[in-house]
Homo-oligomer: A and B are copies of this chain.
Amino acid sequence: MSETIPATERTRIVREAVRAVYDREAIYKILDEGLVCHVGFATDGQPYVIPTMYARNGDYLYFHGSAASRMLRGLAGGLAVCITVTLSDGLVLARSIFNHSMNYRSVVALGNATLIDDPAERISALRAFAEKLIPGRWNDARQPNEKELKATSILKLPLTEVSAKVRTGDVEDDAEDYALPVWAGVIPLRLVADPPIRDARCDPSIPTPGYASEYRR
A166 to chain B, nearest CB (A): 12
Q: Which residues of B contact A188 (CB under 8 A)?
A: 193-194, 197
User: Residues of A within 8 Å of B, CB-based: how many?
Assistant: 93
Most chain B Cβ neighbours within 10 Å, of A42, A98, A144, A183: A183
Q: Does A59 contact B (CB under 8 A)?
A: no
Annotate A74-87 by CB proximity to B: 1 below 8 A, 0 otherwise. 00000011111010
* A94 CB contact (under 8 Å) in B50, B141, B186: B141
Q: Does A115 contact B (CB under 8 A)?
A: no
Q: Does A32 contact B (CB under 8 A)?
A: no
Q: Which residues of B contact A28 (CB under 8 A)?
A: none
Q: Does A158 contact B (CB under 8 A)?
A: no
Complex Cα–Cα for A188 and B152 (A): 26
Q: Does A51 contact B (CB under 8 A)?
A: yes
Q: Does A108 contact B (CB under 8 A)?
A: yes
Query: Judging by beta carbons under 8 Å apart, are B126 and A36 in contact?
Result: no
Complex Cα–Cα for A193 and B186 (A): 10
Query: Judging by beta carbons under 8 Å apart, are A202 and B189 in contact?
Result: no
Q: Which residues of B contact A124 (CB under 8 A)?
A: none
Query: Judging by beta carbons under 8 Å apart, are B46 and A45 in contact?
Result: no
Given A36-B86, A42-B47, A98-B148, 20 more A-B residue pairs with CB atoms under 8 Å apart are: A35-B102, A38-B38, A40-B48, A46-B110, A49-B83, A91-B193, A93-B212, A97-B138, A97-B141, A97-B143, A97-B148, A98-B145, A100-B129, A102-B133, A134-B187, A140-B182, A183-B209, A185-B199, A187-B194, A187-B197
